[in-house]
């Protein structure tokens, strides 16, 4: 069977339905220019904001507990934030889903207390994604 592809379209050698995993994700800026969305960790859906200034994906302790992240077993460290220095725990997220994009073995930090208010989608995840911005639309595509 022959299939005509347009410029930039990929080909799948699979024998079934085309996979929807790792498709590009469009995010739309809010009135302040921030890009929010929902991600999933261990079955828990959590709100995030794209934060290129955050070194790592960062959770507050309540969100970490909701996602069954046993952060107290992580490596304790001190992190510098916009609110000063805080105690943080370095953890590894087995699977992080953003839309249909799946990232495995993502380094993250958990900060005790209520900061950050939403998960910071920081560079330990963003480095694995191609980010394109066109005015108020940001498109995230998995690199590898």
Asked if the model's pLDDT at residue 141 lies above 70, the reply is yes
Element (H, E) at 65: helix 61-66
Domain assignments of the chain as residue spans, ordered by start: 35-129
**Mean per-residue pLDDT for 124-133?**
98
pTM of the model: 0.84
- Topology of domain 35-129, CATH: Cathepsin D, subunit A; domain 1 (2.40.70)
Under the banding of pLDDT at 50, 70 and 90, the label for residue 82 is confident
Encode pLDDT of 97-111 as tens digits: 999 999 999 999 999
Encode pLDDT of 10-65 as tens digits: 444 444 444 567 899 999 999 999 999 999 999 999 999 999 999 999 999 999 99
- Closest by alpha carbon to 86, among 107, 118, 61? 61
Q: What is the C-alpha radius of gyration for the chain, rounded to an integer number of angstroms?
A: 17
């Amino acid at each position: 069977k022959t299939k005509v592809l347009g410029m930039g379209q990929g080909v799948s050698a699979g024998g079934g339905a085309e996979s929807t995993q790792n498709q590009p994700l469009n995010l739309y800026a809010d009135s302040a220019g921030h890009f929010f969305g929902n991600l999933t960790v261990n079955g828990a859906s959590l709100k995030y904001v794209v934060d290129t200034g955050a070194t790592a994906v960062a959770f507050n302790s309540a969100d970490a507990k909701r996602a069954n992240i046993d952060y107290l077993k992580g490596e304790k460290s001190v992190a510098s934030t916009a609110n000063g220095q805080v105690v943080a725990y370095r953890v590894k997220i087995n699977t992080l889903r953003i839309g249909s994009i799946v990232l495995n073995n993502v380094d993250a930090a958990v900060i005790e207390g209520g900061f950050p208010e939403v998960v910071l989608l920081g560079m330990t995840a963003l480095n694995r994604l191609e980010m394109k911005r066109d005015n108020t639309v940001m498109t995230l595509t998995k690199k590898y």
